[in-house]
Amino acid sequence: MTPLRRLCGLAVLAWTGLTASLACHADPQVLHYPATQAPAQPLEIHGALDSDLMAPLLADFQARHPEIELVYRNLTTLALYRRFMSADATSADVVMSSAMPWQYQLANRGYAQSLDTAEARAWPQASRWRRELFGITFEPVVIVYRRDAIASDASPDSHEALLRLLTEQRQRLTGRVVTYDPWRSGAGYTYATADSHMSPRYWELVAALGGVKAALADTTGDMLDGLIAGRYDIGYNLLGSYARDVVADHPQLEMVIPDDYALVMQRLALIPKRAPHPETARRFLDYLLSRQGQQAIRDKTPLGAVHPDLEGPETAHGLRRALGDAIHPIAIDPGLLATLDALKRHSLLERWQREYTRLSDNAP
Amino acid sequence: MNESATLPSLYRRLLVWLLVPMLLLGSLVLAQAYMASRDTADRAFDRLLEAASLAIAEQVKRQQGQLWMDLPPAALKMLASQAEERVFYALYDANGNFISGNAELPALDDTAADMRFADIEWHDMALRLGIRRSQLEGWRNRQPFEVRVAHTREGREALTQSLFQGSMLRLVAMALLAIGVVLLGIRMALMPLTRLRRAIRARDPRTLAPLDLALPRELAELRETLNDLLARMRRVRANQERFIGDASHQLRTPLAGLSARAELALRQDDPRAWHAALDVMRGSADKTARLASQLLSLTRLNNPEATPEAVAIDLCHTARQAVRDAWTQCHRDGIDLGVEVPAHPVMQQAVEWQLAEALANLLDNARRYGARRITVRVTEGPTRLEVEDDGPGIPESQRLLVLRPFHRGIEGGQGSGLGLAIVDGIARTHGARLSLAPTHPHAEPPGLCVRLQFSEEGTS
The complex scores an ipTM of 0.85
Task: State residue B111's pLDDT score.
Answer: 67
A110 contacts B123? CB cut-off 8 A: yes
- Report yes or no: A43 and A71 within 8 Å, Cβ to Cβ: yes
Tell me if chain B has a CB within 8 Å of the CB of A7: no
B102/A347 touch (CB, cutoff 8 Å), yes or no: no
**Distances in whole angstroms, Cα of residue B409 to Cα of each of A147, B421, B433:** 153, 12, 20
Instruction: Phi first, then psi: give them for residue B216, nearest 5 degrees.
Output: -65, 165
Selecting from A108, A343, A347 the residue whose C-beta is nearest the C-beta of B87 gives A108
- Three-state secondary-structure class, residue B152: strand
Alpha-carbon torsion B24, B31, B164, B33, what sign?
negative
Confidence of residue B308 (pLDDT cuts 50, 70, 90): confident
Instruction: State the sign of the Cα–Cα–Cα–Cα dihedral A177, A22, A275, A68.
Output: negative
pLDDT of residue A336: 93
Mark whether A169 and A304 lie in a shared domain. no
Q: Are residues A246 and A323 in the same domain?
A: no
Does B100 sit within 8 Å of A347, measured CB to CB? no
Instruction: Tell me the shortest Cα–Cα distance from A85 to chain B, in angstroms.
Output: 14
Do B73 and A3 count as a contact with CB atoms less than 8 A apart? Answer: no
State how far the Cα of A154 lies from the Cα of A152, in Å rounded to an integer. Answer: 5
Read out DSSP for A251-282? TTEEEE--SS-EEEE--EEEEETT-S-HHHHH
pLDDT per residue as tens digits for the range B168-182: 999 899 989 998 998
User: B291 at the A interface (CB within 8 A)?
Assistant: no
Tell me whether B123 touches chain A (CB under 8 Å): yes
* pLDDT value of residue B127: 95
Q: How many domains does chain A have?
A: 2
On whether any CB of chain A is under 8 Å from the CB of B106, the answer is: no
- Per-residue pLDDT of B419-456, as tens digits, reads 788 888 888 888 888 888 888 888 788 888 999 898 87
Contact A129 B84 (CB under 8 A): yes
Strand duo A215-217 + A177-180: pairing: parallel
Residues A203 and A132 in one domain: no
Question: Would you write out chain A's pLDDT as a tens digit for each of its 364 residues?
Answer: 344 444 444 444 444 433 333 333 334 578 999 988 878 899 999 998 888 889 999 999 999 999 999 999 988 887 888 888 886 667 899 999 988 999 999 999 999 999 999 999 999 999 999 999 999 999 999 999 999 999 888 899 999 999 999 999 999 999 999 999 999 888 899 999 999 999 999 999 999 999 999 999 988 999 999 999 999 999 999 999 889 989 999 999 999 999 999 999 999 999 999 999 999 999 999 999 999 999 999 999 989 999 989 988 888 888 888 888 889 999 999 999 998 999 999 989 999 999 999 987 654 4
Asked if B86 is an interface residue toward chain A (Cβ–Cβ < 8 A), one would say yes
Residue span of the structural domain in which A166 resides: 140-263+341-362
Closest Cβ–Cβ partner in B70, B80, B99 for A334: B80
DSSP 8-state class, residue A152: G
- Strands (E) in A189-302, as ranges, are 215-217, 234-239, 253-256, 262-265, 268-272
Mean pLDDT for the stretch of residues B205-233? 87
CB of A108 less than 8 A from some CB of B? yes
> What is the CATH architecture assignment of B11-162?
2-Layer Sandwich (3.30)
pLDDT over threshold 90, residue B287? no
CATH node for B307-458: 3.30.565.10
Same domain for A237 and A327, yes or no, is no
Q: Do A10 and A25 belong together in one domain?
A: yes
Peptide linkage before B445 cis (omega within 30 of 0): yes
Closest CA–CA distance from residue A134 to any residue of chain B (Å) = 14
- More confident position, B400 or B191: B191
Do A228 and A158 lie in one domain? The reply is yes
3-class secondary structure, B311: strand
Three-state secondary structure string covering B159-225? HHHHHHHHHHHHHHHHHHHHHHHHHHHHHHHHHHHHHHHHHHHCCCCCCCCCCCCCCCHHHHHHHHH
- Please check whether residue A198 is in contact with residue A205, taking contact to mean a CB–CB distance below 8 angstroms: no
Q: pLDDT-derived band of residue B184, with 50, 70 and 90 as boundaries?
A: very high
pLDDT at res. A52: 84
User: What whole-number distance in Å separates Cα of residue B57 and Cα of residue B62?
Assistant: 12
Average pLDDT over residues B39-43: 95
Q: Which residues pair with B91 in a beta bridge?
A: B100, B147
DSSP structure string for A30-52: EEEE--SSSSPEEEEEEESS-HH
Same domain as A349, residue A328 = no
- Greater confidence (B395 vs A211) lies with A211
pLDDT exceeds cutoff 60 at B397: yes
Same domain for A215 and A348, yes or no, is: yes
pLDDT tens track for B406-419: 776 554 455 667 77
| Chain-chain contact of B76 with A105 (C-beta, under 8 angstroms) | no
Determine the pLDDT at residue B306. 63
Residue A101 · residue A190 · CB < 8 Å: yes
**The pLDDT value given to residue B180:** 92
pLDDT band at B119; cut points 50, 70, 90: very high
Any chain B CB within 8 A of the CB of A344? Answer: yes
From the list A108, A335, A343, the residue facing B100 with the nearest CB is A343
**A249 or B284, which is more confident:** A249
Q: Are A345 and A329 found together in one domain?
A: no
B101, containing H or E segment: strand B98-101
Q: What is the CATH number of the domain that holds A318?
A: 3.40.190.10
Q: Domain coordinates of chain B in residue numbers? A: 11-162, 217-302, 307-458
Shortest Cα–Cα distance, B170 to chain A (Å): 32
Residues A229 and A346 in one domain: yes
Q: pLDDT of B124-168, one tens digit each?
A: 999 999 999 998 887 777 888 999 999 999 999 999 999 999 999
Contacts of A337 in chain B (CB under 8 A): 73, 76, 87, 89, 102
Contact in structure between A127 and A330 (CB atoms under 8 Å): no
Asked whether residue A43 falls in the same domain as residue A71, the answer is yes
Q: Name chain A contacts of B125, Cβ cutoff 8 Å.
A: 110
Identity of the amino acid at A317: H
Query: How far apart (Å, rounded) are the C-alpha atoms in residues A90 and A83?
Result: 8
Q: Are residues A73 and A116 in the same domain?
A: yes
In whole angstroms, give the CA distance from residue B58 to residue B78: 15
**B381 has pLDDT over 60:** yes
